């Protein structure tokens, strides 16, 4: 199926960079089927002659021995793994369905050393292997055979790609190496070393932590008191990290009760303050003074072997200064708790379908009539009030609540909620829901503290290991539990933008800590589509937040369907139109993503413009004036529809956030219709 690239403009050429063997590059070749057929016809005779010659040689020499066959199978599996690099954005993706395609001039000429002297035997074995396994490796064989001729195949048939992708999954299941690489283990892919060569990382395939970066093993404890927005506090963190000293940070803005503690010991609540066990070292100047005099090393040597005394400051305690568990009791929640324990909840049939953990509307009405001393009509109205508060819902969303044989299910009994949502505890929260503005404010405040303490100053690197064991993250988990029954429909645009951007960024961190960093497209599909939160009685994945809420319910890249259907209640929460600058604020834990920062509703538009400037000026859009080439992030390609109707409009939009001189030069080249666009390879590695 041939498609003309969306937004094609004369005079502008698209070109991708990247590894020539990646399927993303193969799919993105802008070559028509007629051109491909000509290539095939031009090489058909040579290939047939070679295959016949190889087949005769194979008949003479006999079959390959088991060792050679195993080597060929392993090579094929590795190539299949390489072919599986198509980016996946959520659980509804159809691989190979691309709206925009671009060409690549990267050659697939083989390396003579890699090709080896046994190539003819491998080619014949691969031919036999394809006959046995079917079409799953057809594209692989074509690519490998064309290596010898220096020709690149560029057939992008959509149906074939979809079929190949499904069978690649079966091949991956057969390969222990791929199965081991795809196995998810929390923190398994989080590496401390950020500067390790990418090739060595791929070869080793394990966590590599250089000994020089490991913290010093100590019996003592370092407590660092800080506060938000403190420059000296940031310097104190970096100083301790350079010294390879593990420390516990206590932010007195997050833990206000600790102000009295440091004031009592030091006579002042000024920060930073550093304690080695029970000994007060002082602030940043005292710390540097001890280091310059050489006395700090003596204290550290003593600190390494000496355990803290009872007088030493303690790390943050679970639930310390946390208001998540405070508040008035919700009387409706108490009634629902009793109702849940009284009525019959079981699997039932409804409209020729089986639904688990359901109850009848008539049974709920019976309970409410008896428990609340209500007439039957009044009990139905009361049940509708409970349903509107998201305690339960109809299994098919046919109505809010009615008497009769309709089936309803409690929120925590919903299969999607119980299996995929990670912010809902067992049972029903009995506290009255807090206003969404209050929860959003606490979430923003806590996110700011986490990013300051556990992310680099530029927001490009995140210390996931430290976040995982921090009390701040534990408090975050308690905060997001309060989102189950909040009201989000009536949030103003600015508050909705800031809330869902901050929630997305923290939710992505939570997903990586819970499931591990995705190693490939299938894992990314699971992370973006299956890791969910309950917000206001509805479930949201990372993809539905980005594409459903923040992009105004737009189709995700490589998808055929919108996140929310016509009858989906979540469409009432979605913004009325896409917000293009959110793509420079949403961080899903990749190296090529934007910087991690916190956003506030009162200044959201300026902060989003700052994020766009930082991202595009830091390499998101590089203009080579002499070569008249623009090197653009693939974010501008994947979400081009949000920035403009065609590539020219996308580049003009992006030019607004470049340096003034670069912006003027880019616009001049665009006006002359001489610009060539190269989309940079996207680095999916973890931003640690």
Which alpha helices (DSSP H) does 331-489 contain, by range? 331-342, 361-372, 376-388, 415-420, 436-454, 464-468, 471-480
pLDDT of residue 92: 46
Mean pLDDT over all residues of the chain? 78
431 DSSP 8-state letter = B
Give the pLDDT confidence of 69-93 residue by residue, as tens digits. Answer: 455 455 444 444 443 344 555 544 3
Pairing of strands 222-226, 248-251: parallel
Q: Is-contact 372 379, C-beta < 8 A?
A: yes
CA distance 236 to 164: 53
Mean pLDDT of 49-53: 46
Beta-carbon contacts of residue 276 (< 8 Å; ≥ 6 apart) = 220, 222, 299, 300, 303
Residue 657 confidence class, pLDDT cut points 50, 70, 90? very high
Specify the domain boundaries for CATH 1.10.10.10 within the chain.
Answer: 331-410
Residue 436 confidence class, pLDDT cut points 50, 70, 90? very high
Residue entry with tokens 């009361």: 382
Residue 44 confidence class, pLDDT cut points 50, 70, 90? very low
Q: Is-contact 376 395, C-beta < 8 A?
A: no
CA distance 296 to 63: 71
Q: Is-contact 9 646, C-beta < 8 A?
A: yes
Q: Is-contact 277 312, C-beta < 8 A?
A: yes
Worst-scoring range by mean pLDDT, 34-43, 224-233, 451-460? 34-43
Tally helices (H) and strands (E) across the chain.
Answer: 28, 14
Label each residue of 624-644 as H, E or C.
ECCCCEEEECHHHHHCHHHHC
pLDDT of residue 298: 86
Nearest-Å Rg of the Cα atoms of the chain is 30
pLDDT of residue 459: 94
pLDDT of residue 82: 41
Q: Name the architecture of domain 331-410.
A: Orthogonal Bundle (1.10)
Distance of CA 280 to the CA centre of its chain: 41
Nearest to 402 by CA among 424, 379, 372: 379
Q: Is-contact 471 315, C-beta < 8 A?
A: yes
Q: Which of 43-57, 214-228, 393-407 tops mean pLDDT?
A: 393-407
Q: Whole-model pTM?
A: 0.72
CA distance 454 to 501: 19
* Cα dihedral sign, 526-528-531-536: negative
Label each residue of 134-194 as H, E or C.
HHHHHHHHHHHHHHHHCCCCCCCCHHHHHHHHHHHHHHHHHCHHHHHHHCCCCCCCCCCCC
Give the pLDDT confidence of 243-282 residue by residue, as tens digits. Answer: 888 899 999 999 999 998 888 888 888 999 999 999 999 9
pLDDT of residue 213: 57
Q: Is-contact 528 90, C-beta < 8 A?
A: yes
Q: Is-contact 536 485, C-beta < 8 A?
A: yes
pLDDT of residue 118: 41
Q: Is-contact 534 417, C-beta < 8 A?
A: yes
Region at 536 (left for phi over 0; alpha for psi -120 to 50; beta for the rest)? left
Tokens of 284: 């940043």
DSSP symbols for 273-286: EEEETTEEEESHHH
The residues pairing with 349 across neighbouring beta strands, listed in sequence order, are: 354
Q: How far is CA 586 from CA 300, 425, 658, in A?
A: 40, 27, 20
pLDDT of residue 303: 80
CA distance 537 to 484: 6
Q: Is-contact 555 639, C-beta < 8 A?
A: no
CA distance 630 to 102: 14
List, as own/partner pairs, every contact residues 626-630 make where C-beta atoms lie below 8 angstroms and the sequence separation is at least 24, other chains included. 627/676, 628/669, 628/674, 628/675, 628/676, 629/675, 629/676, 629/677, 629/678, 630/666, 630/669, 630/675, 630/676, 630/677, 630/678
Q: Which of 42-46, 82-86, 111-115 tops mean pLDDT?
A: 42-46
Give the pLDDT confidence of 588-610 residue by residue, as tens digits. Answer: 999 999 999 999 999 999 999 99
The residue length of the chain stands at 688
Worst-scoring range by mean pLDDT, 6-10, 45-49, 389-393, 432-436? 6-10
Residue entry with tokens 């803290």: 308
Tokens of 493: 């645009």
Tokens of 520: 């490939």
Q: Is-contact 484 537, C-beta < 8 A?
A: yes
Pairing of strands 13-16, 676-679: parallel
Residue entry with tokens 């200044």: 603
pLDDT of residue 248: 92
Distance of CA 301 to the CA centre of its chain: 42
Q: How far is CA 651 from CA 630, 646, 664, in A?
A: 9, 9, 12
Q: Name the architecture of domain 222-305.
A: 3-Layer(aba) Sandwich (3.40)
Specify the domain boundaries for CATH 3.40.30.10 within the chain.
Answer: 222-305
Tokens of 646: 């065609």
Q: Is-contact 588 574, C-beta < 8 A?
A: no
Residue 99 confidence class, pLDDT cut points 50, 70, 90? very low
Query: What is the percent of the chain where pLDDT is above 90?
Result: 56
pLDDT at 172 over 50: no
């Amino acid at each position: 199926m041939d498609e003309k690239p969306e937004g094609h403009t004369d005079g502008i050429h698209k070109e991708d960079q990247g590894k020539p063997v990646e399927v993303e590059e193969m799919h993105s070749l802008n070559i028509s089927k007629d051109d491909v057929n000509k290539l095939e016809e031009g090489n058909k005779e040579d290939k047939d002659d070679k295959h016949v010659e190889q087949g005769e040689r194979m008949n003479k020499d006999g079959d390959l021995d088991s060792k050679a066959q195993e080597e060929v199978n392993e090579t094929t599996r590795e190539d299949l793994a390489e072919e599986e690099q198509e980016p996946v954005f959520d659980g509804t993706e159809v691989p190979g369905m691309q709206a925009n395609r671009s060409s690549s001039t990267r050659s697939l000429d083989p390396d003579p050393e890699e090709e080896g002297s046994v190539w003819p035997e491998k080619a014949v074995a691969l031919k036999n292997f394809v006959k046995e396994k079917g079409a799953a490796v057809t594209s692989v064989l074509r690519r490998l055979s064309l290596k010898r001729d220096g020709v690149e195949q560029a057939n992008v048939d959509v149906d074939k790609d979809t079929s190949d992708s499904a069978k690649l999954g079966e091949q991956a299941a057969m390969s222990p190496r791929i199965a081991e690489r795809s196995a998810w283990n929390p923190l398994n892919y989080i590496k401390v070393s950020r500067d390790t060569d990418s090739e060595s990382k791929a070869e080793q395939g394990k966590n590599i932590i250089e000994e020089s970066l490991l913290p010093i093993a100590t019996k003592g404890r370092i407590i660092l008191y800080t506060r938000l927005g403190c420059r000296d506090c940031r310097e104190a963190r970096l100083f301790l990290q350079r010294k390879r000293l593990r420390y516990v940070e206590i932010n007195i803005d997050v833990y206000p009760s600790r102000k009295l503690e440091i004031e009592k010991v030091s006579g002042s609540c000024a920060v930073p303050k550093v304690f080695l066990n029970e000994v007060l070292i002082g602030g940043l100047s005292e710390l540097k003074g001890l280091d310059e005099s050489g006395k700090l090393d003596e204290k550290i040597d003593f600190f390494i072997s000496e355990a803290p005394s009872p007088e030493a400051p303690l790390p943050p305690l679970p639930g310390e200064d946390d208001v998540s568990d405070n508040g008035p009791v919700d009387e409706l929640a108490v009634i629902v708790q009793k109702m849940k324990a009284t009525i019959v909840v079981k699997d039932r049939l409804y409209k020729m379908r089986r639904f688990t953990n359901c109850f009848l509307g008539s049974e709920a009405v019976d309970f409410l009539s008896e428990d609340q001393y209500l007439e039957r009509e009044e009990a139905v109205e009361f049940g509708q009030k409970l349903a509107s508060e998201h305690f339960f819902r109809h299994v098919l969303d046919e109505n809010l609540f009615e008497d009769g044989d309709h089936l309803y299910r409690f929120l925590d009994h919903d299969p999607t909620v119980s299996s995929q949502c990670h912010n809902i505890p067992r049972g029903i929260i009995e506290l009255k829901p807090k206003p969404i503005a209050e929860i959003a404010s606490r979430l923003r405040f806590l996110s700011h503290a986490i990013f300051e303490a556990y992310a680099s100053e530029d927001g490009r690197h995140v210390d996931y290991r430290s976040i995982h064991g921090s009390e701040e993250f534990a408090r975050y988990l308690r905060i997001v539990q309060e989102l189950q029954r909040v009201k989000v429909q009536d949030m103003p645009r600015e508050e909705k933008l800031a809330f869902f951007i901050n929630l997305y960024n923290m939710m992505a961190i939570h997903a990586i800590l819970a499931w591990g960093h995705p190693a490939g497209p299938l894992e990314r599909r699971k992370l973006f589509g299956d890791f969910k939160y309950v917000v206001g009685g509805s479930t949201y994945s990372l993809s539905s937040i980005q594409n459903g809420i923040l992009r105004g319910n737009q189709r995700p890249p490589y998808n055929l369907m919108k996140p929310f259907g016509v009858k989906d209640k979540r469409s009432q929460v979605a913004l009325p139109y896409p917000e293009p600058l959110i793509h420079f604020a949403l961080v899903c834990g990749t190296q090529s993503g934007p910087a991690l920062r916190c956003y506030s509703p009162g200044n959201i538009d300026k902060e989003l413009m700052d994020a766009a400037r930082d991202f595009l000026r830091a390499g998101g859009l590089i203009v080579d004036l002499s070569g008249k080439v623009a090197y653009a992030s693939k974010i501008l390609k994947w979400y081009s529809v949000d920035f403009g109707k065609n590539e020219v409009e996308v580049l003009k939009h992006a030019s607004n956030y470049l340096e003034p001189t670069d912006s003027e030069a880019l616009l001049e080249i665009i006006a002359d219709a001489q610009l060539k666009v190269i989309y940079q390879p996207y680095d999916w590695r973890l931003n640690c």
